[in-house]
Amino acid sequence: MRYLPIFLDVQQKTCLLVGAGEVAARKLALLKSAGATVRLVSPECSEEIRAQIDGARISYIQSAFEPQHLDGCGLVISATDDEAVNAAVAAAAQARHIPVNVVDSPALCSFIVPAIIDRDPITVAVSSAGKSPVLARWIRAKIETLLPHSIGKLAAFMGARRAAVQAALPQVGDRRLFWEKILTGLLPSTLARGKTDEADRLFEQTLQKDAATPTQGRVYLIGAGPGEPDLMTFRALQRLQEADVVIYDRLVAPAIVDLARRDAERRYVGKCREAHSVPQEQISQLLVELAQQGKVVARLKGGDPFIFGRGGEEIQALATAGIPYEVVPGITAASGCASYAGIPLTHRDYAQSVRFITGHTKDGKLSLDWAHLAHGRETLVFYMGLTATAEICSQLQAHGLPADYPAALVEHGTTARQRVLRGTLATLPALLADAQSPSLLIVGEVVQLHDSLAWFEGHSDADAAFLPPIEHRALCDLATAA
C-alpha cells in the first residue's frame, strides 16, 4: 500500500481550504458533511461558496495564501489551479506536520481524499493512490449498487445492542457467529421495511438461543478452484469468510488466502513431491482438534477437494470424530486449465469421454492399466504428472497410441503465469526442461484445437480485474467490528 487507509475525526475541528472555485466547492461540501469547521482562503469567491459562508462553521478570508492561515488547523486541502500556490500550501503544511491534500497533485499530498460511499454510520472509501480518480469513482459506483441505503440503519441497530450481546456472549468468537447469523437471516430485510419491533423480536430470539447453546466447531472443506481467485464459487467465499482458522496448502493462491477475514488464523500445511511439510494424517487430526476447540475451520484445497484432493480422507476423520462438516465443490484443475488453454475435454469429432488420472508415482512406479488407456477417442488428463510425463508418453506409445498423438502440458493454469507446452507423445518430454509445477498433462486429439481456440493467451482482457462479491464480505467485516 502506498497510503494507509484511515478515517479522520474532523468534527468541530478547523480545516483550511485554499481556493474557492468549482473543485473547492466539492471539497467544502465534503468537509461540511464530516462536521468540520472550515477556514476558506482565496482572493476571490464563487457565488456557490459565498452562499454557504456563515462566519461560524464556514469563515472566509479574502486573501492570497499565507503560512499563518494554517494556525490552529488540523487538516489542509488546496484546490486551486495555480501550481505555485498549491506547492506553497503543501510545503507550509508539511513543515508544520499538518496532513495536506492538493487536488490532482499526488506528489504534493500527504493524504488522498478517496471516493466515498456514505451510509452513515457506515462509510466506504475507495482510493487509487491518486493514480486514477476516475477508476476509484467507477469502483465506488459498483459498490453503491451492492450496499442498500438501509445499511446505515442496520449499523445503528447493531451498535445500540452491542453491549447486550457482549454481556450474553462473553467469547469473541461466539459474538462474531451471532452477528453473522443476524446479518444472513431475516433481520436486515425486516429492518429495511421499517418493522423495528419485528427486528427486535428476531434479535432477542437469536440471542437467547445462542446464549443457551454451547459453541460447536465445524469444518468447511472448500474447493478453491484451479488458481485464479475469481473462479471460486460464491459459496466458497462465504464459507471462507466465516472461518476462525484457515488451513491451506501450496496449490492455493495467496490471493485466495487473503480473502479470509483479517483476524482469521492462517496455517500452511503445504505438500509437494517428496517434501510433505505436514503428513496427511496430522492434517486430518488438526482439523478434528481445531473443531473440538469450538473453532470454525476452512480447509482450502486447490481445485475440487474430492478430485485427487484427499478430501474424502479428511472428512472420514471428521465423521469418525463426530465433527460437523460441509463440502464446498470447486472447479477442478482439469476443467479450469483445459478451458483456459482452449482445449475442450470432450468434442463430438475427437473425444466422447474424458478420464482423470493421477500421475503421482508410488515408489517411483506408475501402476496403471496402460492398454485400456491407450485405445484413443478419449481425453486423458493426468494430475501431478510433471515428473512422470516421459514415462506416461512412453507407456502410451508402447501400448498402441501413435508417436504423433497430440499431448500438452498446462502449467500455472488460469493464472497470469499460464503457459501451454504443446507437442506429441514423442516430442513433449523434450519440451519440459524448464516446466514448473503445478501443471496438468492432457493427452488426446482435442489438444490440436489449442492453436485455434487459445482465447486466454495474449488476450488483453483475459486477466480482467477481480472484483469479489463485496456485499457479503462487507457484512462479515461489519459483524467482526460489532
Q: Cα separations (Å) of 264 from 59, 252, 288, 340, 471?
A: 47, 16, 18, 32, 19
Q: Which of 165, 176, 234 is nearest to 476 (CA)?
A: 176
Q: Cα separations (Å) of 335 from 231, 356, 419?
A: 11, 10, 16
Residue with cell 484546490: 79
> What is the rounded distance in angstroms from the CA atom of residue 188 to the CA atom of residue 278?
43
Told to judge if 271 belongs to the known catalytic residues of this protein, a careful annotator would answer yes
Told to judge if 249 belongs to the known catalytic residues of this protein, a careful annotator would answer yes
3-state SS class at 432 = coil
Strand partners, 117: 124
Residue with cell 472484483: 467
DSSP string, 298-316: EEEESB-TTSSS-HHHHHH
Over its C-alpha atoms, the chain yields an Rg (Å, rounded) of 29
Choose, from 174, 210, 249, 304, the residue flagged as catalytic.
249
Q: Which of 404, 426, 406, 302 is nearest to 344 (CA)?
A: 406
As given in the structure block, the three cell numbers for residue 38 are 472550515
Work out the end-to-end distance of the chain between its first and last CA atoms, rounded to an integer number of angstroms. Answer: 26
> What is the rounded distance in angstroms from the CA atom of residue 436 to the CA atom of residue 105?
44
Choose, from 32, 230, 271, 477, the residue flagged as catalytic.
271
Residue with cell 469479489: 468
Contact (CB, 8 A) for 431 and 403: no
Three-state helix/strand/coil letters over 349-391: CCECCEEEEECCCECCECCCCHHHHCCCCCEEEEECCCCCHHH
Contact (CB, 8 A) for 228 and 414: yes
Catalytic residues: 249, 271
